[in-house]
Amino acid sequence: MCQIFAGLDPALYEPETRRLRLNGQSTSIRLEHSFWKIIDEIAASEGMTTPAFVSTLHSEVLELHGEAHNFSSLLRCACLIRSGRQLQPQAEAAE
């Protein structure tokens, strides 16, 4: 079983740091390459650049919660939610 996971291409989980602006502040976010790929796809599906999407998401989190606790983890969870939604129609079609 672990071969499925242990055999992953290391490039998929290689950390990647991107510099961008959040609410006018220059910052950097470090995520694994696979997560950035999903975030890039989400941004494109929303008709936005990745920096614009991440900045908009950050602004919305601040508006809802007053601060963005562990924003990198929020981005990872957003990727999981997106992946789950993409898999859901496939699972329903298999039933």
Report whether pLDDT(70) > 80.
yes
Alpha helices for 1-95 (secondary structure H): 2-6, 33-45, 50-65, 71-94
For the chain, which domains are there? 13-79 (1.10.3990.20)
Residue 5, pLDDT score: 85
Give SS3 for 13. coil
Radius of gyration of the chain (CA): 15
pLDDT at 85: 80
Each residue of 36-54: pLDDT tens digit?
Answer: 999 999 999 999 999 999 9
Closest C-alpha to 43, from 89, 74, 86, 75: 75
What was the pLDDT predicted at 87?
67
Tokens (6 digits) for 38:
């999903």
Residue 18 has pLDDT above 90, yes or no: yes
Residue 54 structure tokens: 């991440």
